[in-house]
Amino acid sequence: MSPMLELAVVVPVFNERGNIAPMVAALDRALAGRHWEVIFVDDDSPDGTAEAVREIGRGDDRVRVIQRIGRRGLSTACIEGMCATAAPLVAVIDGDMQHDETLLPAMADALAADAALDVVIGSRFVAGGGTGAWDRDRVAKSALATRRSRRVLKADLSDPMSGFFMIRAPLVRALAPTLSGIGFKILLDIMTASPRPLNFKELPYMFRTRGEGESKLDHVVAMEYLIALYDRMFGRLVPVRFVMFGAIGALGVVVHMAVLAPIVALWGERAFIGGQVAATLVAMTFNFFLNNMLTYRDRRLKGTRELLAGLVSFALVCSVGLAANVGVATYLHSAQSNYWAVSALAGIVVGAVWNFALSSRFTWGR
């Protein structure tokens, strides 16, 4: 056995307790004769995944855990895992046995054989690979996501959605500060972050069906994927979070009107002020919860106390933002009264930037 640590296998896990022991056993079989370690990166799963890793780790020092508190996210979990090892090679593999761990030695050998090679990718879409028992809907979604990514990627990857690959550790550490860390697609993130095209090689594997536990890929994840692509293309100009915050703000205007209109219709103009107050409160609460779920999903406030405190601080921030909005609009309008729409728009932008900057610092800041 080589005396030097050769490979770290990073396994992002959320509620995968039942898969930990099978995973370690499978790695032990696949990597027999090599010097490796496995790092499970867990986001404080309620099912006790981290403890399941520790139980094994106490008797086997190749088995490690990173337990993150108050955080969620597959990509950031992978990034942190890859930065937490002394091994020269790191692999990322799902913790639910869907990826084929028996491919790992071939991946390591390919990297050892060719110094110019940066990354070896497990692909379901080269000859010999496959998606196993996927239903047609999932196949179609995956194909769509793959086509979307091509435009950003400018590389001929057959399976850019793959979450199964091996890369040189110093390279990934060098890229880490520029990774967006949004969503599920860590490989895509790495490939597009690199200033030079990475040399890659694809090895086929069969995507297995999940045994224990359930998938975490939901609609929010699908949306995060689109956001991640946006971030790569335009994120430097206007940050993703601000775009989401703004879009949710625009939805808030719709909610506001939907509350105000029936009140005015029912009770006439004299109810305007009251209706305006009610509409503002409803829209603000709506915005708060939506931002908490989407814009700040990774720092989501939870529990009654945290949510209540968040809502109050959000309301305070927004009331100042509103004053700034009206102030700027009034000022511009008095200076140049021909352009009322421009004045109003300027007010809205100033208010939105204020709300965004301060709420990200105080309402969702840690």
Residues that bind ligand GDD (CB under 6 A): 12-14, 16, 41-43, 72-74, 77, 94-96, 98, 142, 161-163, 184, 215-217
At what angle are helices 186-193 and 219-234 packed, to 10 degrees?
0
The tokens describing 11, both together, are 């396994």
Torsion of CA 218, 219, 225, 227, to 10 degrees: -140
Q: Which residue is nearest to ligand GDD (CB)?
A: 163
- Rounded to 10°, the helix 104-113/17-30 angle is 50
Count residues near Mn ion (CB under 5 A): 2
CB-nearer residue toward ligand GDD: 45 or 276: 45
Please report how close the Cβ of residue 16 comes to Mn ion at its closest, in angstroms.
Answer: 9
To Mn ion, the closest distance from the beta carbon of 319 in angstroms equals: 44
Considering the complex, state which of residue 73 and residue 347 has its C-beta at the smaller distance from ligand GDD: 73
Backbone angles phi, psi at 63, to 5 degrees: -105, 115
The first and second tokens of residue 32, run together, are: 């027999």
Nearer to ligand GDD, 120 or 161 (CB): 161
Strands (E), 74-229: 89-92, 119-123, 165-168, 200-204
Q: How far is the CB of 320 from ligand GDD (least distance, A)?
A: 34
* Least separation in angstroms between CB 114 and ligand GDD: 25
Residue 52 to residue 54: CA distance in whole angstroms: 6
Using the minimum distance from each CB to ligand GDD, give the nearer residue, 63 or 358.
Answer: 63
Kindly state whether residue 37 participates in binding Mn ion, applying the rule CB under 5 A.
no
Binds 160: which of Mn ion, ligand GDD, none (CB < 5-8 Å by kind)? none
In the region spanning residues 82 to 121, those forming contacts with Mn ion, defined by CB under 5 A, are 96, 98
In whole angstroms, the minimum distance from the beta carbon of 269 to Mn ion comes to 57
| Residue 100 interacts with, from Mn ion, ligand GDD, none (CB under 5-8 Å by kind) | none
If you compute the radius of gyration of the chain from its CA atoms, what whole number of angstroms results?
25
What is the nearest approach in angstroms of ligand GDD to the Cβ of residue 263? 41
The yes or no reply on residue 76 touching Mn ion (CB under 5 A) is: no
Interface of this chain with Mn ion, residues 186 to 245, rule: CB under 5 A: none
Give the Cβ contact number of residue 184 at 10 Å: 22
Q: In what order do the strands lie in the sheet containing 89-92?
A: 63-67, 36-42, 7-13, 89-92, 165-168, 119-123, 200-204
Q: What is the maximal distance between C-alpha atoms in the chain? A: 84
Q: Give the C-alpha separation, 295 to 254, whole Å.
A: 18
Q: Of the two residues 90 and 350, which places its CB atom closer to ligand GDD in the complex?
A: 90
Shortest reach from residue 298's CB to ligand GDD, in Å: 9
Smaller CB separation from ligand GDD, 216 or 299: 216
Work out the burial of residue 275: count CB atoms within 10 Å of its CB; fewer than 13 is exposed, 13-18 middle, 19 or more buried: buried
Residue 42 site contact among ligand GDD, Mn ion, none (CB < 5 to 8 Å, cut-off depends on kind): ligand GDD
Residues lying near Mn ion in the complex (CB under 5 A): 96, 98
